[in-house]
Chain A
Amino acid sequence: MRHRAALALLLGLVACEVEDAALSVIAPPENPREAYLHRIEGAGLGESALARDWAEHARLALTRAARVSSPFRETGSIDPDGTAHAWRLSVRHGQRVRVDIAVQGDTSSRIFVDAFRAGESGLDDVPLRRVPADGAGVAIEPEEDGEVIVRVQPELLHSGRLTVSLVVEPTLEFPVSGRGTPDVGSVFGDPRDGGARAHHGIDIFAPRGTPVIAATSGVVSRVNETPRGGRVVWLSDGERRQSLYYAHLDSQLVARGQQVRPGDTLGLVGNTGNARTTPPHLHFGIYRRGRGPVDPLPFVRPTPTRLAEPGPDTLLVGRWTRANAADVVVRDAPAAAGEVVARLPRGTAMRVVAVSETSLHIHLPDGTHGYIPTRAAEDAANPLRGTVVAGGGRVMAVPARDAAVIDVLDAGERIDVHAVFGDYLFVRTADGPPGWLSVSDS
């Protein structure tokens, strides 16, 4: 508490009041996830199943996070125990992962979004930021190339479905109006001056006079002319601690200190400076504070963003299904490149955790998680076959010898078998709860 108070004082965020000779300190704002956990602990439920399940689901989701490619959309369940969902995506420095979430059903639950990347001592937090364009969703902008884990977790005791869209996209707008990546003629690192130096930007070729635009909001920090860059404009992107460099302009249309928004015209394409002997183009560079030039291409190169709308398969979320082929391969990711984690015989029971465009994220009764093609499963609501119970058939809560007995069936009772798992049948009686019956009892 002493450290927290000291930190709060240093940050100037402290509010103190003396009450009964006790100093009450309001600490700096917690992140929403910590605040939620503190509320549970403050209510005396810190050791309850509620708090433990929520923390365990958060931990498990990170260990099970599947590698997916952008763009990706998955519809999953919101369960009362706060089941979390997580994915791994490759992201270049200069790109961001945009996370958009839509909730169906109980919309009163807050959804916590966290991002992590592998660090030297485990997983490090990656800060989130609001997507500035429309204020909806969040974006993750890692400052290194690598893999990011995105985790979403609803509050406890809510039910419904949530659809999460993950799109890796450039953080900046393309800096030349009406042009695109095909017009980039020279990339970062190309040799210059006979190999004496490297190219610290990209060259975007366009007709003379094409508008050069602000790739982000910021302040124009410099407007001048140099032998190498010709007519140049520097735009300070304070939010990302970087400066954008526009060179070889035919004309400059902004003044130093001017505040600009994305898309505002800064000048016109030309070939001033040491580009006099080349066709008109924009030399575009990005200089990170304390780090120097970085490759601008990931910051501006458009990426695929088309996402299929959730289809009728999303109705399978939370339901029991069964394998509808003889050898259904379960992988650790929703793509053929994923590693095989199980192979299922026909009729195997599995609960659908989430549905994406072509895959089902499934949970097997033994705890195995994985992905199968959507076409490899069918709803287990309709029975596979009937069977007759042997004497004293015990229906178990889960397919395991030490499981709780939830019902005892009469000898000769006819029941419906909806799926199988190992030596157990997933059964439903006319008036009892669904459960698992040992094959030897049928």
Chain B
Amino acid sequence: MCFGLAACDARPVSTHHEAYADGLREAGFAELPAGAAWLEAGTAALDDPEPGALPLHVEGWFPDDSPAARAWRVAVTEGQTVFVSARLEGRSAGRLFVEVFRPARDTTAPAFALGSAGEMARVLEVEATRTTELIIRLQPELLRGGRFVLDAAADTPLDLAGIARRRDGRHVSGVRGR
């Protein structure tokens, strides 16, 4: 399933993650330790993304009993179309929020969201309108975790079936120290 969004300087998109976060606040969950930790994990990942490069392939694990999020920073060239695929697997798998951001020119401002998806497996397609860096963030919904697989590539549509075949678990990016 494809989810196409063009980058836009002026109007960052409202993401599935933001809608979910708003729901947590509205339901009063944001005031509870686990809800606050989930929001904080998402912000912290975006503030300090891990270095990466396209094509990017990461496999890892999100615990289901403590909120976690991860993000990667990748360079893109003007005119490139970036395809991002991510999915969450495992017995307790649920929604995985996948987002692509571009850092704001003003480094004190929050990053702009360029695209998002909120299902278990999604492909995002983002067109880079200038040479810049993008941040890809993954975060499962509260109470959910499992093995995740992230693939991002420029200009080449991803082969989801091919990714699904590569499930030997040898490329784990563990959670030690995170």
Contact = CB atoms under 8 A, between A and B. Distances in A.
A38 to B, nearest CB: 10
A158 B33 CA distance: 8
A432 B174 contact: yes
B172 A156 contact: no
B21 to A, nearest CB: 11
Interface size, A (range): 20 to 34
Interface size class of B (residues with CB under 8 A): 35 or more
Given A43-B23, A157-B32, A392-B170, A49 B91 contact: no
Given A404-B146, A408-B170, A80 B34 contact: yes
A48 B175 contact: no
A43 B90 contact: no
Interface string A400-442: 1011111110000000000000000000000111000000000
Give the most central of A42, A48, A81: most B CB within 10 Å. A48
B30 to A, nearest CB: 10
A50 interface: yes
Interface in A131-163: 156-159
Interface in B1-59: 19-20, 22-24, 26-29, 32-35
Interface SS majority for chain A: loop
Interface in B61-78: 61, 63-65
Nearest to B28: A39
A431 B176 contact: yes
B133 interface: no
Nearest to A392: B170
6 nearest A-B pairs in the assembled complex, by CB-CB distance: A404-B147, A43-B27, A43-B26, A405-B169, A404-B90, A43-B23
A406 B64 CA distance: 12
B142 A158 contact: no
A57 B112 CA distance: 38
A433 B170 CA distance: 17
A406 B23 contact: no
Interface string B129-157: 00000000000011111110000000000
A299 B61 CA distance: 57
B174 A49 contact: no
Contacts of A407: 172, 174-176
